[in-house]
Structure 1
Amino acid sequence: MRGGHETLSNDQYAYAVGRVRAMETRLLDRSKIERMVEASSAEEALKVLGETEYAEYLAGLKNIYDYDTMLDQELHRVYLELHRFSPEPELVGLFACKFDYHNLKVLLKAQKMGEKRDELLVRDVGNIPLAVLIRAVNEEDYTNLPSKMRQAAEQISEAFRLEANPQLVDLLLDRAMFLEIFEKLEKLDSSYLKEYFTYLVDLINIKTYLRVKRTNNSREFLEQALLPFGEKDMTRLVQLVDPLEVLVDRLMSSRYAQFIEDGIQTYQKTDTLTRFEKLADNFLLKHVKKAKYVTFGPEPLAAFILAKENEIKVIRIIMVGKINQLPTEEIKERLRDVYV
């Protein structure tokens, strides 16, 4: 699944892939997920995790509401471990950069809008130390940040001098993040990774189109909100004035045909993107699973990161459902597929 040329020899990846294959055996399988869903309470759901590698964190939890701490610790452990043995550090960095952009969003909104939300910050997982981001925002000096991030942060600071617009923080930083990601992808030279992020951009853009249409925003706003690098050019594919059936029809010949009708029709009925997001995640996971058949290369490492992040999302869905005493069937409807 590597394009062009082999950037690293198979030998250099043999050890890393061996490590990842061993780690894969400890991912939660469908039966454990189902036991969590069927558990009578949030406490009982957590007990199921006591039989897994999450067990080491359970003793440190103050209460069931503290489960996020456990998930953060596991995410940190996985990224740290992969950083240690990945032959290409930039591979792990490719996935870690989203945490840097997330943190910068939180910090900029805190500074510009007074929305101080320190609990939203992701610690010790990104490529950039949190202290560096905090200092950059406090001093409004972004020179030490990666170029795409720096340019976006400077644009945001400039724009906020004229008008406080929190949407701009998300729009500009999301665009900068994907510019950085696709720049990194050129160096990694993996068609598997490029395809994954291309599909991800398409699915984000479809959601963006749906949201912009619902809020009656302008075409100009849509163009600003759409991300580059997708296969589908939403501005050419469909107009904001078109009924959603047109969007479905235009996408029925695409790779997204298998779920697009279900996802958008459910959205029309419920006015929520919950099902669309689930189907989109499952579509992406199906692509991720192709790495199971790759013997050497970055693909199994990338797949493990995505599998673990998916697992954490699934645990979070279950715990939120259990804490809020949602019916079991409702929780099941929201669940994503699992990697193993």
Structure 2
Amino acid sequence: QLELCKKSGKVAKEYFEKRINYLNISSFERARRLGLDFSFFADCFIDGGTIPLSTFEGIWELHGEDFLKPFKETEYYEDVKALDEGGKLVVFEAKTDDALLKVWKREKDDLYSIAPIVAFYMSRKTEIKIAKLVVAGVKNHVAPQIIKERMRELYA
């Protein structure tokens, strides 16, 4: 059972590292788009992810291939590339939620860990977000295309 607990710990650690990385990438891009100094981003930076602050510092003023170089071999490459090309942050946040849900989804059949419980909780949370999004969009006469791009992936 000790091995099973360690396995759950690995999944939880992976989830939180990814969450921190995605939050840091999002904060980085928001600060750059607002024209703020790097020191502002450094104050917002969350330790604990796999991408160090020095990586963000090195690419603060860069764009294009030079900007993407540190992310080339990571799972964040496509999302960061889309952001660098002027992609919408709301689409990035939807992709973030999908990627974080997949961490737990992979382990949903491991009945000796916390993964199925957390996956169930995360899926319900996602379903509530989707319901709120659709209801608010319909009520406010938002174009279906805009609602669609903000949709999250369902657990199923």
Shorter-chain TM range is 0.7 to 0.9
Give the TM-score, by structure 2 length: 0.85
* Alpha-carbon distance in structure 1 between the residues aligned to 2:129 and 2:114: 23
The residue matched to 1:291 in structure 2 has which SS?
coil
* Alpha-carbon distance in structure 2 between the residues aligned to 1:230 and 1:300: 24
Amino acid of the structure 1 residue aligned with 2:74: S
Give the TM-score, by structure 1 length: 0.42
Whether the 8 Å contact between 2:63 and 2:84 is mirrored in structure 1 is: no
Whether the 8 Å contact between 1:278 and 1:335 is mirrored in structure 2 is: yes
Amino acid of the structure 2 residue aligned with 1:284: L
Residue 312, structure 1, aligned to residue 138, structure 2: no
Amino acid of the structure 1 residue aligned with 2:71: L
Whether the 8 Å contact between 2:29 and 2:83 is mirrored in structure 1 is: no
Choose from 322, 331, 337 the match for 2:138: 322
* Alpha-carbon distance in structure 1 between the residues aligned to 2:37 and 2:52: 17
Whether the 8 Å contact between 1:198 and 1:229 is mirrored in structure 2 is: yes
> Residue 146 of structure 1 corresponds to which residue in structure 2?
none
> Residue 255 of structure 1 corresponds to which residue in structure 2?
75
Whether the 8 Å contact between 2:107 and 2:116 is mirrored in structure 1 is: yes
Cα shift at 1:284: 1.5
Cα shift at 1:236: 2.5
Whether the 8 Å contact between 1:281 and 1:336 is mirrored in structure 2 is: yes
* Alpha-carbon distance in structure 1 between the residues aligned to 2:102 and 2:154: 10
Whether the 8 Å contact between 2:123 and 2:155 is mirrored in structure 1 is: yes
> Residue 246 of structure 1 corresponds to which residue in structure 2?
66
Residue 225, structure 1, aligned to residue 44, structure 2: yes
Structure 1 residues 266 and 320: alpha-carbon distance in aligned structure 2, compared to 1, 3 A threshold? farther
* Alpha-carbon distance in structure 1 between the residues aligned to 2:133 and 2:84: 21
Query: Where in structure 2 are the equivalents of 1:11-160 lying within 5 Å?
Result: none
Choose from 141, 148, 155 the match for 1:332: 148
Whether the 8 Å contact between 1:307 and 1:338 is mirrored in structure 2 is: yes
The residue matched to 1:229 in structure 2 has which SS?
coil
Extract unaligned runs of 5+ from structure 2: none
Structure 1 residues 256 and 288: alpha-carbon distance in aligned structure 2, compared to 1, 3 A threshold? same
Cα shift at 1:194: 0.9
Choose from 89, 98, 106 the match for 1:282: 98
The residue matched to 1:247 in structure 2 has which SS?
helix
CA RMSD of aligned residues (A): 2.4
Structure 1 residues 308 and 249: alpha-carbon distance in aligned structure 2, compared to 1, 3 A threshold? same
Over residues 19-48 of structure 1, what are the superposed CA-to-partner deviations in whole Å (9 max), with x where a residue is unaligned? xxxxxxxxxxxxxxxxxxxxxxxxxxxxxx
Whether the 8 Å contact between 1:205 and 1:226 is mirrored in structure 2 is: yes
The share of aligned pairs that are identical, in percent, is: 23
* Alpha-carbon distance in structure 1 between the residues aligned to 2:98 and 2:51: 19
Amino acid of the structure 2 residue aligned with 1:316: K
Extract unaligned runs of 5+ from structure 1: 8-185
How many equivalent residue pairs? 155
Whether the 8 Å contact between 1:205 and 1:234 is mirrored in structure 2 is: no
The residue matched to 2:108 in structure 1 has which SS?
helix
Point out the structure with max Rg over C-alpha: 1
Structure 1 residues 242 and 196: alpha-carbon distance in aligned structure 2, compared to 1, 3 A threshold? same
> Residue 296 of structure 1 corresponds to which residue in structure 2?
112
Choose from 212, 216, 222 the match for 2:31: 212
